[in-house]
Amino acid sequence: MLQFYQPQPDFGTPLRESEQTVSLTIDGVEVTVAEGTSVMRAAADAGVKIPRLCATDSLEPFGSCRICLVEIEGMRGKPASCTTPVAEGMVVNTQSDQLAKVRRGVMELYISDHPLDCLTCPVNGDCELQDTAGEVGLREVRYGFEGANHLSADKDTSNPYFTFDASKCIVCSRCVRACEETQGTFALTIDGRGFDSKVSAGQDELFMDSDCVSCGACVDACPTATLTENSIIDAGVPEHSAITTCAYCGVGCSFKAELRGNTVVRMTPNKDGHANEGHSCVKGRFAFGYATHKDRISEPMVRDSIDQPWRTVSWEEAIAFTAARFRGIQEQHGRNSVGAITSSRCTNEEVYLVQKLVRAGFGNNNVDTCARVCHSPTGYGLKTTLGESAGTQTFASVAKADVVLIMGANPTDAHPVFASRMKRRLREGARLIVIDPRQIELVDTAHIRADYHLPVNPGTNVAILNALAYTIVEEGLQDSDFIADRCEEPAFAEWLAFIQEPQHSPEASAEFTGVDPELVRGAARLYATGGNSAIYYGLGVTEHSQGSTSVMAIANLAMLTGNLGREGVGVNPLRGQNNVQGSCDMGSFPHELPGYRHISDAATRSLFESHWGVSLDPDPGMRIPNMFNAAVAGEFRGLYCQGEDVAQSDPNTHHIEAALSALDCLVVQDIFLNETAKFAHVFLPGSSFLEKNGTFTNAERRISRVRKVMPAQAGMEDWEVTQALANAMGCPMTYSHPSEIMDEIAALTPTFAGVSYERLDEQGSVQWPCNTESPTGTPIMHVDSFVRGKGYFGITEFVPTEERANRRFPLLLTTGRILSQYNVGAQTRRTANTVWHEEDVLEIHPHDAEQYGISEQDWVGISSRAGDTVLRAAISERVKPGVVYTTFHHPVSGANVVTTDNSDWATNCPEYKVTAVHVEKVAEPSQWQRRHREVHRLQTSLLAEAGRE
Amino acid sequence: MTLSLYISGDTTARALGADALVAVLEVQAAAADVPLNIIRSGSRGAFWLEPMLEMDWQGKRIGIGELMASDAEGLLATLLDNPESHPNYLGEVAELPWFANQHRLTFARAGEGDPIDLNTYRALGGLQGLERALSLTPDAVVEEITDSGLRGRGGAAFPAGIKWRTVLGAEADQKYIVCNADEGDSGTFADRLLMESDPFQLLEGMAIAGIAVGATQGYIYLRSEYPRAQLMLNEAIDAARLAGVLGERVLGSDKSFDIEVRLGAGAYICGEETALLDSLEGKRGMVRAKPPLPALEGLFGKPTVVNNVLTLAAASTVLAEGAAAYQAHGTGRSRGTLTVQLAGNIARGGLIEVPYGISLREIVFDWGGGTRSGRPVRAIQVGGPLGAYLPEAQWDLPLDYEAFAQAGAMLGHGGVVVFDDTIDMAAQARFAMAFCVAESCGKCTPCRMGSIRGVEVIDKLVANPADTAQKILLEDLCDTMEHGSLCAMGGLTPSPVRSALRYFPEDFGLAAEAS
């Protein structure tokens, strides 16, 4: 349904929650509200809008604009309704001649220092100053306009996405407060005093030179045209909008896509979105331009071999070509010779269809997903210990945490919107423990300092987690009642004996972890005794040879201290991609049908068999690494790769490239000709998140709608393409809308039984499990008992990785993310976000840099037993001596040329986070990088030929 | 025998030449080989007599005033021989009418002896209030303050007992006592004088407040323009800690209380209590909206007593002498004594402590002796830069909060600035707005923008008095600032402007309004 554009409703001051209610009368209307509510918000409840400028319901009341003054019987003067809390029996008048006069008087002052260029102003018609001038009935400005003013103040256009026009500023401090309260960066301030007061980024710097992270909170908060999106300045205010879900990280922010016709002119964070509650980051808020980038490919293409030019074909031909190739391969090499990789960036419905195509159409279980290479150990570890392959909490839970433990995650870069929520709680006084080899921003940032930073050596997570558990047990800090009540006794007894072994003491394990035992003991005491303790972890936990063991050790810690099953606690994986939770839920793993039910389970299988009308292979299929090994061996010959760039993102690039080159038919479905597509025979142009309907599931199990706001560039949404391919391969699919796919998922999956598009429209979003027991969803899991019944303490023996620093490879390379770029960068590199991160660099500690004779900006050769690449050096004390660090957002960086094929013992999740390397100053890029450039040039020319046809 | 002399070490006396006088005396003593002990007492506040020398002579404390080093030839000999023979001989200091007619409670000790000698402080009756407070329950201490009728001396005159009661009743793991020593009003210096002349009294008052409300930490927010006070306070704090008056066990009790001095950075607005708290927290000094009251959510969000220097100092008097004794002074709801600071164009400037109820005329003429220029007094501004300008018709007002409020004026912190008949009241009105331009924190719009428009409108009005629209606009602007401003800075700036316009219209080129 078309939603005409209108600003989101604003109640003036934040919602207050209280069991106590207060009744009062406002303009003769009686209203009852929660204690602590402002008079302004109570008035809104009573249907009275009090004019205002400095108040907005996302920020604490400030009381500076003096427009919202009211009269309260028995109270002196004219209190500001935003800062005055309600009281029982209060009688408030919001309208009187005196109030009207004061409001007009204040507005007259504002306008005496404001350019009267409304008709040519970019926010004409969408401006609170304009609206309020109208509301208070300002008719003249008797001061004239020749007095002191700021009309010639300079514009700051340094940020690529928004402009700061100080001449329009009313100094309401909403931007400053948004930067503090909402984002927590403290980049903005008011400089000067009195009439000279002005908004200043940093120490009177340009926005781009300040600490600003371009989250857009200030732009959102600005009531005038002072901070305006450049897209609005260029295109004008939107005329309609739709609520949708961000396609970047696993936070899954809800956005209003605001459009003029089919052009998105702005993405505005949705205040009613439960994941983000009106906040955003530089990616979701601004970096959507990739969707209309010139590199988008909008027609299907095929070729017989990868050294041939692409041939642009019709959808019919592309589908027929693919179906024939796959059938041919299967006829010649057997049913198991083909498979598919699902994408964590596609919708639940699209992922579901691909796994259905594999199981019902290909007739095997060779389906895997990119979660294999990120959070598969989370699935394994949490399922084993707690019984469900998902995080236990809702994001809002962090507001009730007293102790936050972050391990192997860098939320301010990788999950920035959740990080802001976390930072708010930390500023309120929650204590912080960070376990990370690198000094992430949260260790020491504005108004936040970690109580404990344990700079653990890469690859020794299990050792440090065991040391924490050892300390808690040794010092008798465990929650024995919780354990007795909620956990399996024999397993716990066995674990207890195990953990008390002397090698687990902080002192003994320091040999491996490199962490001062006193720090470990202090952190253990704090975690165990600090009140509600919550663990947040990321790929720094999972992407190890003992990733699954670490996840189990984390769950053990939470169970040991009773930190599960309520708000403020829990075990929270921070998911990397927008729908990595969903793609796992949808049965993307070779051994699991949707809802994490094993393929060998006959009852589950028969449920799907009867619904799909086929018989299913009871044996698990190949995992991604198995597929590549089999491809190199010639046994696996056809791969359908949905929206994933394995050539860039998977470890040991040489091996991946060999495997891809060996395939007879590689089908890539993507919006860009990515690195993997350079090895492809069929290119199926994908649809971006703006071009299709569906759902994403975020890290808190929240299922949110993705809504189509523009036509699919290639004419078909991804699910329609998969459906066409399935039909061509004799696997009938007849969905007319993704809602029907969701209905099928709900019918076949107990944890999704209550999910439907109707419910999503009604609630906005739903956290699974959603079924008859919890019809509106489940924010907190394992409340009274664990999903598996009793919690299971798994034995977590520390086994050092084989990937160890030695004489030949003396340093350990670990990898991570940066705020402005996302994953392989396919999207963000095609936006102005590149101004923040033009290239990946190698962070190296000054001591190591000195030892290896490396200076800032030098080319550094990095070699491991798998391969070598070259990056520029960035000397930094964020890493500790002996550890180097990089990101992998740019293909040419070749970070994964260096990473090895070591992987998690349980799930084969690659050990991206530990690679023993040698570094040296070099003069030129590596051989792989030179070859990569050549391949890139060649493939680009082959693509250009397709364009000429 | 050693000759002991008292010469004030306070900022004003030193500015007037006290240090040079000391140096000359020391040279003369060395030359004559006379053992000399000069005690740098605090000033008694009779600045018109500084530099003043006092000594014990025949059982009396006698004084010699206006003693400049340049006129000190043979001074030592005169003092040794017969000080009464000195032309500037004042006689017994306490008997001088200027002092004898005052009623000194808070400033009783000022000028008596070494301000940072704790023994002197004790000998002069110090610490009795604290000792008594320690013998009472917190509730009883607050009750004493309430019964004494003590009101805040910073300007707002809020009953101290109610404030203390609120903090006492607040549940918190930490509470604070904050002393507002950001004395920024024009023509005021009482806080400084107390801190330089009798700093222990402030420390004692703060300790009493701490014991009363359950606070263990006090901060003195001192304006950076008071380096001497900073020195005296810090030395007094060190001495008090050493003697166990401050610290873990106050006077051997189980109560702990400590004090730290923090310096401001030159912003008038930081004398406003909430801006002061922001500044004390290390932030830019911006006025906070109330509620929450600082008594409930003050410094670092904790319950906090914020009181002026004189209020806290008076608490020691109240506890030492009892609520009834204190309450016996004053008039109406203004109890105790008022510290008037006489400044501006005044013959005998200085500090006068008197019970509430005396008239402005008595202060300015009986104590002050009229203008220094000898010209007629035309206007008196009471209560700092935000106070009204009073014409002669209002000089008989009793010094009483309510009486002043009724007349559209305020007592404020007790600053009295006198102007003679050469003053241009339109320029003074403009200055009031200009002061607000310079000192507004910039948070609320009426103050931030209204003040600069005020300057502009007054300029236009004076340039063309016939433009009645400008007068109406100025009056409307004053209404907007008064009713709309977040704090008293913007809210009271109209007060001097309006009074100038109303009582001295001729200075704006306007005809007097028919009343």
pLDDT at A5 over 90: no
For residue A78, what is the nearest residue in chain B, using CA coordinates? B483
Q: Please, which pLDDT band fits residue A901 given cuts at 50, 70 and 90?
A: confident
Nearest CA to B418 out of B365, B464, B456 is that of B365
What band does A949 get if pLDDT is binned at 50, 70 and 90? very low
* DSSP result, A416-438: HHHHHHHHHHHHTT-EEEEE-SB
Q: Does B279 touch chain A (CB under 8 A)?
A: no
Q: Taking CB atoms and an 8 Å limit, are B289 and A61 in contact across chains?
A: yes
One domain for residues A478 and A511:
yes
Whether residue A920 is predicted with pLDDT greater than 50 in this model: the reply is yes
Q: Which residue of A has its CA nearest to B491?
A: A77
Say whether both A486 and A568 belong to one domain.
yes
> Which chain B residue has its CA at the smallest distance from A141's CA?
B473
* A437 and A464 housed in the same domain: yes
Round to whole Å and give the CA distance between B31 and B23.
12
Number of domains in chain B: 4
Q: Is residue A681 part of a domain?
A: yes
Range name among A284-288, A395-399, A932-936, B104-108 with the lowest pLDDT average: A932-936
In a domain, A338, yes or no: yes
Least reliable range by pLDDT among A242-246, A311-315, A936-940, B347-351: A936-940
pLDDT given at position A8: 85
B198 three-state secondary structure: coil
Find chain B residues with C-beta within 8 A of A85's C-beta.
291
Q: Is A41 among the domain residues?
A: yes
Same domain, A652 and A597: yes
Q: What is the pLDDT of residues A73-84, one digit of tens each?
A: 999 999 999 999
**3-class secondary structure for B346-387?**
CCCCEEEEEECCCEHHHHHHHHCCCCCCCCCEEEEEECCCCC
Structural domains counted in chain A: 4
Residues B242, B129, single domain; the answer is yes
Question: Has residue B71 been placed in a domain?
Answer: yes
Contact B441 A142 (CB under 8 A): no
Whether B108 maps to a domain, the answer reads no
Helix axes B468-484, B494-503, angle to 10 degrees: 140
Exposed e or buried b per residue across A410-420, where buried means at least 16 C-beta atoms within 10 angstroms of its C-beta: bbbbbbbbbbb
Look up the CATH number of the domain holding residue B448.
1.20.1440.230
Question: Do B153 and B275 belong to one domain?
Answer: yes
- Do B318 and B169 reside in the same domain of the chain? yes
pLDDT at A874 over 60: yes
Chain B residues 412-441 with a CB less than 8 Å from chain A? 436-441
Give the pLDDT confidence score for residue B201 in this predicted structure: 98
Element (H, E) at A198: strand A198-201
Are residues B449 and A112, on separate chains, in Cβ contact within 8 Å?
yes
Mean pLDDT of chain B: 96
Among B327, B352, B386, where does a domain finish?
A: B327
Q: What percent of chain B has pLDDT over 90?
A: 97
User: Cβ of A758: how many Cβ atoms within 10 Å?
Assistant: 10
pLDDT, tens only, B332-390: 999 999 999 999 999 999 999 999 999 999 999 999 999 999 999 999 999 999 999 99
Cβ contact (<8 Å) for A65 and B445? yes
Residues B392 and B281 grouped into a single domain: no
Q: Could you tell me if B431 and B397 lie in one domain?
A: no
Which one of A109, A136, A141 would you mutate to disrupt binding with B, by most B Cβ within 10 Å of its Cβ? Answer: A109
Helix (H) or strand (E) holding A706: strand A702-706
Q: Is 70 exceeded by the pLDDT of residue A948? A: no
Assigned token pair, B50: 């500084």
Mean pLDDT throughout B31-44? Answer: 95
Between β-strands A702-706 and A694-697, what pairing exists: parallel, antiparallel or unpaired? Answer: antiparallel
Residues A718 and A584 in one domain: yes
DSSP assignment string, B229-286: HHHHHHHHHHHHHHTTSSBSSGGGSS--BEEEEEE--S-GGGGSHHHHHHHHTTS---
* CA distance, residue B483 to nearest chain A CA (Å): 7
Point out the domain boundary residue: A37, A71, A95. Answer: A95
Q: Check which CATH number belongs to the domain holding B408 and give it.
A: 3.10.20.600
- On whether both B70 and B148 belong to a single domain, the answer is no
| DSSP letters spanning B466-514 | T-HHHHHHHHHHHHHHHHH-SSHHHHHTHHHHHHHHHH-GGGGT-PPPP
Q: Is residue B311 one of the residues assigned to a domain?
A: yes
What are the residues whose beta carbons fall under 8 Å from the beta carbon of A232, sequence distance 6 or more? A122, A123, A238, A265, A266
pLDDT of residue B243: 97
Which range of residues forms the domain containing residue B485? 425-508
Tens-place pLDDT, residues A661-678: 999 999 999 999 999 999
Buried b (16+ CB within 10 A) or exposed e, A269-299: bbbebbbbbbbbbbbbbbbbbbbeeeebbeb
| Per-residue confidence (pLDDT) for residue B515, from 0 to 100 | 44
Tokens of A597: 């039910």
For residue B39, the SS3 value is strand
Hey, is B25 helix, strand or coil? Answer: helix
Instruction: List all residues of chain B from 155 to 214 with a beta carbon under 8 Å from chain A.
Output: none
Same-domain pairing of A383 and A369? no
Torsion of CA A81, A84, A89, A90, to 10 degrees: -40
- Backbone φ, ψ for residue A155 (5° rounding): -90, 145
Asked if the structure places residue A234 within a domain, the reply is no
Mutation site, A53, A106, A151, A196, interface B, largest B CB count within 10 A: A106
**Which chain B residues are within 8 Å of A224, Cβ to Cβ?**
none
A285 part of a folded domain: no
pLDDT digit string (tens) for B267-297?
999 999 999 999 999 999 999 999 999 999 9
Distance CA A433, CA A520 (A): 10
In a domain, B105, yes or no: no
Q: Cα B377 from chain centroid?
A: 23
What does the pLDDT read at residue A438? 94
Domain termination residue (choose one: B403, B420, B437): B420
Residue B512 has what pLDDT?
76
Does the pLDDT at position A371 exceed 90? no
CATH of the domain at A32: 3.10.20.740
What's the token pair of residue B77? 């000999």
Q: Categorize the per-residue pLDDT at B513 as very low, low, confident or very high, splitting at 50, 70 and 90.
A: low
Which tokens in the block code for residue A672?
């860009």
The CATH number of residue A873's host domain is: 2.40.40.20
Residues A311 and A433 in one domain: no
Does B308 share its domain with B453? no
CB contact under 8 A, B456 and A65: no
Residues A536 and A649 in one domain: no
Return the pLDDT at B340.
97
Please tell me whether residues B237 and B205 are part of one structural domain.
yes
CA closest to B285 among chain A residues:
A193
Residue A806 included in any domain? no
Residue A851 near residue A860 (C-beta atoms within 8 A): no
**Could you tell me if A523 and A552 lie in one domain?**
yes
Question: Of B372, B400, B420, which residue is a domain's last?
Answer: B420
Look at residue B196 and tell me if it is in a domain. yes
Q: Do A102 and B484 touch (CB under 8 A)?
A: yes
Residue B486 near chain A (CB below 8 Å): yes
Does residue B195 sit in the same domain as residue B300? yes
Least-confidence region, from A310-314, A371-375, A921-925, B495-499: A371-375
**Would you state the pLDDT for residue A947?**
62
What CATH number has the domain bearing residue A713?
3.40.50.740
**Cis bond before residue A458 (omega within 30° of 0):** no
Which residues fall within 8 angstroms of residue B435, CB to CB, at 6 or more apart?
Answer: B268, B385, B493
Q: Which of B473, B474, B480, B485 is the best residue to mutate to test the A interface, defined by the most A CB atoms within 10 Å of its own CB? A: B480
A29-73 confidence digits (pLDDT tens):
999 999 999 999 999 999 999 999 999 999 999 999 999 999 999
Q: Is residue A595 part of a domain?
A: yes
**Which CATH number fits the domain that encloses residue B56?**
3.40.30.10
Distance CA B508, CA B515 (A): 18
Whether the CB-CB separation of A344 and A589 falls below 8 Å is answered with no
pLDDT tens sequence across A455-475: 999 999 999 999 999 999 999
Cα–Cα distance, A208 to B236 (Å, whole number) = 50
Q: Which of residues 817-846 of A touch B (CB under 8 A)?
A: none
CATH number at residue A429: 3.40.228.10
| A57 at B interface, C-beta within 8 A | no
Across chain A, mean pLDDT equals 95
Of A70, A95, A120, the residue at which a domain comes to its end is A95
Phi, psi of A485 (to 5 degrees): -80, -40
* Axis crossing angle, helix B445-463 with helix A97-111, rounded to the nearest 10: 80
- Global pTM reads 0.94
pLDDT in tens, A551-607: 999 999 999 999 999 999 999 999 989 999 999 999 999 999 999 999 999 999 999
d(CA B398, CA B405): 11
Among A80, A95, A110, the domain boundary falls at: A95
Q: Is A83 on the interface with B (CB under 8 A)?
A: yes
- Structural domain includes residue B109: no
Same domain, B463 and B476: yes
- Whether residue B219 is found in the same domain as residue B91: no
**Together in a domain, A534 and A611:** no
**A159 found inside a domain:** no
Interface of A with B in 141-160 (CB under 8 A): 142-143, 147-148
Does B514 reside within a domain? no
CATH of the domain at B269: 3.40.50.11540
Give the residue numbers spanning the domain of A895: 811-936
- Cα gap B365→B363, rounded to integer Å: 6
Collect all residues of chain A within an 8 Å Cβ-Cβ radius of residue B271: none
User: Are B355 and B304 members of one domain?
Assistant: no
Using pLDDT thresholds of 50, 70 and 90, give the confidence band for residue A1. low
Q: Is A398 on the interface with B (CB under 8 A)?
A: no
How close is the nearest chain B Cα to the Cα of A199, in Å? Answer: 11
Instruction: Write out chain A residues lying below 8 Å of B439, CB-based.
Output: 193-194
Residue B433, pLDDT score: 97
Which percentage of chain A shows pLDDT scores above 90? Answer: 90
Q: Give pLDDT tens digits for A634-664.
A: 999 999 999 999 998 888 888 999 999 999 9
* Domain co-membership, A626 together with A525: no
One domain for residues A633 and A747: yes
Distances (CA, A) of A894 to A643, A824, A843, A927, B218: 20, 11, 15, 11, 60
Residue B513 counted as domain residue: no
